[in-house]
Structure 1
Amino acid sequence: MAGLLGALGSALQPVGDALGSTVGALTDTVDQTVGTLGNTVDQIGSTANGVLGGIGIDQARGPFQQCIAQALSGDSGRFAFPTDLLFDLTDLHLYNLDHPLTPAAITYPNNVQEVSSIVVCASQYGVAVQGRSGGHSYDNNGLGGMDGSCSIDFRNMKDFRYNEGDRTVTFGPGNLLRDLDRQLALIDRVMAYGVVGEIGTGGHMTIGGLGPLSRLLGTATDQIVSVQCVLANGQIVQANAYENPDLFFAIRGAAWSFALVTEFTMITSPAPSQVVSYQYNITIAPGNAAVLADTFKSWQRFISNPALSRLFASTLTLTNDVLIFSGTYFGDEASFNQLNIEVDVLGVAIGLGITSRVVTTVVHDLVDLVTDLVGAIPAHFYSKSLKVTPQTLWSDAAVDAIFQYIESTPKGTPLYFLVWDLNGGAISDVPPTSTAYWHRDAVYFLQSYVIDLLGPVAPTSYAFLNGLNAFIQQVVPGIDDSAYPGYVDDQLPDYLTAYWGGNVEKLVSVKGRYDPGNVFRNSQSVPNV
């Protein structure tokens, strides 16, 4: 739900509050400047490649590259190869700098027919294929996740239409979440998905997709009615409850292994008339993070109550000497106040430094400005996640021990975040075997991040996060490696079970039927046998 960008936004929110409306103006300026600069650089790269092609330099291309060029009508502005001038600057766009890679090609189709032609080329020459929507995969899977893949960038496929009859929306995977925000605001409808506008819909909707409205409406995946997609042989098909239902099962939680979604049709819901946004920052003296353990215990007791309103969404973020209790309530302030969170959750923190911010607004104004500022910045980072269920809630003794570990263990970087993200509600209403997304029993996920803005993540930082998960498993009986598949972790010993649990056997079977040649693959994809 929160993700790396959300964690950064939450941690930096006090800065945003201080800047006030100036941040809003600055955000618009940054968006315009970055967009203009990016377009200019892309135009320079396209022009340079076109000029070089015009003087015959592209004649050195091999059969695969020639096939790609032909699939895109020879338009050099819509494909790029590692040998092209400015490739790294105009096309590569790594997100996690700790995972450098070089794809065989990056392509920019305009329509589903071109996507099909590209996939046929890749399949013919044994090249792996992955799609890039927003480009925020933690392992750079939009670029293939490994060297030598063909990346299909959907930026040109941004169609959007509202279907008045059944109140669904149909849109292309080139739309970012911020594009959906704007389009849905015009029709006063909402969907459940994440809060970071820079995230692409193509990956987010098909890996699970958690957001503040998920407790009320389910995951993003749960709102998919039908998809148009391209198979490994280039065939264009529909997948829904009636057509290719086994593929539809796989698409909703594990799409990167099965097909490229080129169009979504999803249900929408009426927009809540009011939303309460709340945030409490609890600060302590440096080196005493363990004293925040009691606040965590209160938070866990509060959010694990089965009777908790589904209108309530919450995250708890720990970074250095600040614990941030934040979220949204999809109702009016009077109803929010009846939850009594300042007593039930924060009462144990009396005597600590607490600053609060409770704002009532309409749903479409609920935008984290600071997150938008950092949304497109690549960095060296590593992340892990861990699922907590009703059976594996942390005992008070375990909480004390875990917070002691956090306080005493070297981090290797001053920039780290631990985020506890509330799940449950409508997410848990769906049987775990009805979609590929498996983690219906999660009460919350722990998401942990270490970030280095200057260079590769240090071994000490990797050890801190891996050690944290291992320590939790040691002090909390029953916790396993179950992880949210959207928070890609390349150090999981058994990623298949961690991501997809009891659905793995069915997914392998579906893979064998729809992609027997394993065209759609990355370093953590579902195998075909």
Structure 2
Amino acid sequence: GVPPPPAVTPGEGAAMSAVISDTAYDELAKAFRGPLVRPGDDGYEEDRRVWNGSVDRRPALIAHCTGAADVIAAVRCAGPSGPAAGLPLAVRSGGHSFPGQSVCDDGIVIDLSAMKGIRVDPEARTVRAQAGVLLGELDHETQAFGLAVPAGIVTHTGLAGLTLGGGIGWLMRKYGLTIDQLLSVDLVTADGTLLKASADVNPDLFWGVRGGGGNFGVVTEFEFRLNPVGPVVLAGPVAWHMADSARLLRFYREWITDVPDDLTTAVVHRKAPPLPYVPPELHGKPVVMVVCCYAGPVEEGERVLRPLRAWGPPPVLDLCAPKPFVQHQAMFDPSFPHGRWYYFKSCDVDRLGDEVIDVTAEHAARIVSPLTAFPIFQLGGAIGRVGEDETAFGRRTAGHTFNINGTCEGAEGFEREREWARGLWSALAPHQTGVYANFLMEEGEDRVREAYGPEKYRRLRELKRRYDPGNLFRLNQNVPPAA
């Protein structure tokens, strides 16, 4: 007799290319315009990579969509009655998902990265952007007219995933979250239907996509309201030695109580990176930075920032200056390049109480990796002026969100950084009031429920039952359909 084929572990490379049948492949190819890439094909090894280098998955097929028709074809292929039914389905725009949910083992990846269309209407102050657009690409088009959508802090982040989870960034205290400027989406549901969702059309779905992630389908295009920004803003970091962290945070806590909404800040603890604008004597030295973005008139911003600059010991670095908004948006790009190994823990807190500050300063002093950095984002302002029930996004009343990330170039030292991140997160446990869904790793259903709260979670499950009863779109911060 013929010996049985060798057992193959899922994810063991080209040996798994037969996971998608030739029939399914051929049927999809007939209805698909973009490239279809399988294990062994040219470009497969590069195509399967995502931003977080610690994620190493091998899909059976990567479908590079050129437009909504390709998305519909791919969803129908993977859907409950399609020829590839039962295979995992991942959706990727920028590939920035912290836990790497935009790629899967032995399934299909719907890759939207070629869908780059952007159309600005400067008169109506709106922009339409396809799902493969990155934040820097959007800013490039909108800032030509002195306009912007509040979105993110790293320019190579995908607009789609950032928006669907809520979208925090440098303009949020002035203009709210990214979803607060969203006017409509085009979305392909689990049965391969293209729907529009807005305040007037499918308003239940529009509520859910504003914070509920990719649970309800594949968004192919977004329409946003635009806001006047810059093009020059007062922005950048003001830094002190990390030994001053606890004292600085106590001052900062009081200072931000009455700053205008034009100002959004984040406190960052890390070792100073060896970048051209950082003096060589600071490279590798532990610092604490207050990174600012003042989106109003520059001279007003200078007045608002004066108390920060005058606090305590003189700053060791002050790069807060008038600059193009797009330049500030790219400031963190060198710290978060593709391919590094990233591990995140996150939580919201209502205020920087003394215990929170002491825990933060104590654990920041234990950072070992020169690549590890954790921002504490200042929330409030316009975020809290949107009604709690108007969108699916979790608690809008949080004061700050911690984004604790341990980072290494590769596997070496990664376990140590991961344990450090978990340690700081655990020490903050008594003060945690929630979590931002986009900052979750694969942490289970309880943490997803925590991100939304019990009532919104129940409502999201009902919505999921209506639009994706089979949970086809489950590789995300998943909300299972109501029973």
TM-score, normalized by length of structure 2?
Answer: 0.86
Structure 2 gap ranges (5+)? 1-16, 272-285
Q: Does structure 1 conserve the Cα–Cα contact (< 8 Å) formed by 2:437 and 2:477?
A: no
| Corresponding letter in the other structure for 1:87 | Y
Q: 1:349 and 1:63 mapped to 2: Cα distance?
A: 70
CA deviations on 1:361-382 (whole Å, 9 max, x unpaired) are 343554535x445654211120
Q: 1:527 aligns with which of 459, 480, 483?
A: 480
Q: Paired residue for 1:337? A: 302
Instruction: Give the alignment of 1:80-159 within 5 angstroms.
Output: 80-89=37-46, 91-123=47-79, 124=82, 125-143=85-103, 146-159=104-117
Q: 2:383 and 2:102 mapped to 1: Cα distance?
A: 26
Question: Is the partner of 2:39 in helix, strand or coil?
Answer: coil
Q: Paired residue for 1:65? A: 25
1:357 aligns with 2:310: no
Q: Paired residue for 1:450? A: 406
Q: Paired residue for 1:41? A: none
1:217 aligns with 2:217: no
| Corresponding letter in the other structure for 1:399 | I
1:488 aligns with 2:440: yes
Q: Paired residue for 1:377? A: 338
Q: How far is the alpha carbon of 1:520 from its aligned partner?
A: 0.8
Q: 1:412 and 1:316 mapped to 2: Cα distance?
A: 19
Question: Are residues 116 and 84 of structure 1, via their aligned partners in 2, closer, same or farther at CA, if it must alter by over 3 Å?
Answer: same
Structure 1 gap ranges (5+)? 1-56
Q: 1:297 and 1:193 mapped to 2: Cα distance?
A: 28
Question: Is the partner of 2:348 in helix, strand or coil?
Answer: strand
Q: Paired residue for 2:7? A: none
Question: Are residues 84 and 358 of structure 1, via their aligned partners in 2, closer, same or farther at CA, if it must alter by over 3 Å?
Answer: closer
Question: Are residues 401 and 133 of structure 1, via their aligned partners in 2, closer, same or farther at CA, if it must alter by over 3 Å?
Answer: closer
Report the count of equivalent residues. Answer: 448
Instruction: Give the alignment of 1:21-420 within 5 angstroms.
Output: 61-73=21-33, 78-89=35-46, 91-123=47-79, 124=82, 125-143=85-103, 146-163=104-121, 166-272=124-230, 274-283=232-241, 289=243, 291-303=244-256, 305=257, 307-320=258-271, 321-339=286-304, 341-343=305-307, 345=308, 349-350=312-313, 354-368=316-330, 371-373=332-334, 376-389=337-350, 393-407=351-365, 409=366, 411=367, 413-420=369-376
Question: Are residues 314 and 374 of structure 1, via their aligned partners in 2, closer, same or farther at CA, if it must alter by over 3 Å?
Answer: closer
Q: 2:453 aligns with which of 482, 495, 501?
A: 501
Q: How far is the alpha carbon of 1:240 from its aligned partner?
A: 0.8
CA deviations on 1:119-175 (whole Å, 9 max, x unpaired) are 0000121233332111111111222xx423321111222222233563211121121
Q: Does structure 2 conserve the Cα–Cα contact (< 8 Å) formed by 1:130 and 1:142?
A: yes
Q: 1:471 aligns with which of 427, 444, 449?
A: 427
Question: Are residues 107 and 349 of structure 1, via their aligned partners in 2, closer, same or farther at CA, if it must alter by over 3 Å?
Answer: same
Q: How far is the alpha carbon of 1:202 from its aligned partner?
A: 1.4
| Corresponding letter in the other structure for 1:379 | R
Q: 1:175 and 1:413 mapped to 2: Cα distance?
A: 32
Q: How far is the alpha carbon of 1:490 from its aligned partner?
A: 2.1
Q: 1:276 and 1:66 mapped to 2: Cα distance?
A: 55
Q: Paired residue for 2:463? A: 510
Q: Does structure 2 conserve the Cα–Cα contact (< 8 Å) formed by 1:251 and 1:259?
A: no
TM-score, normalized by length of structure 1?
Answer: 0.79
Question: Is the partner of 1:281 in helix, strand or coil?
Answer: strand
| Corresponding letter in the other structure for 2:442 | D
Q: 1:278 and 1:86 mapped to 2: Cα distance?
A: 38
Kindly report the root-mean-square deviation, in angstroms, between the aligned alpha carbons of the 2 structures. Answer: 2.6
Q: Does structure 1 conserve the Cα–Cα contact (< 8 Å) formed by 2:54 and 2:410?
A: no
Question: Are residues 197 and 211 of structure 1, via their aligned partners in 2, closer, same or farther at CA, if it must alter by over 3 Å?
Answer: same
Q: 2:373 and 2:168 mapped to 1: Cα distance?
A: 18
Question: Is the partner of 1:377 in helix, strand or coil?
Answer: coil
CA deviations on 1:259-292 (whole Å, 9 max, x unpaired) are 11111111112234642124212125xxxx3x42
Q: Does structure 2 conserve the Cα–Cα contact (< 8 Å) formed by 1:294 and 1:348?
A: no
Question: Is the partner of 1:415 in helix, strand or coil?
Answer: coil
CA deviations on 1:444-501 (whole Å, 9 max, x unpaired) are 1111111121316643322221121111224x4xx24x22111232246722223222
Q: 1:279 and 1:376 mapped to 2: Cα distance?
A: 19
- The structure with the greater share of residues assigned to helix is 1
**Percent identity (aligned):** 24
CA deviations on 1:405-443 (whole Å, 9 max, x unpaired) are 443x5x564432121111111111112221111131121
Question: Are residues 335 and 405 of structure 1, via their aligned partners in 2, closer, same or farther at CA, if it must alter by over 3 Å?
Answer: same
Q: Paired residue for 2:274? A: none
Q: 1:375 and 1:471 mapped to 2: Cα distance?
A: 25
Q: Does structure 2 conserve the Cα–Cα contact (< 8 Å) formed by 1:380 and 1:457?
A: no
| Corresponding letter in the other structure for 1:224 | L
| Corresponding letter in the other structure for 1:368 | A
Q: 2:75 and 2:355 mapped to 1: Cα distance?
A: 53
Q: How far is the alpha carbon of 1:180 from its aligned partner?
A: 0.9
Q: Does structure 1 conserve the Cα–Cα contact (< 8 Å) formed by 2:64 and 2:112?
A: yes
Q: Paired residue for 1:14? A: none
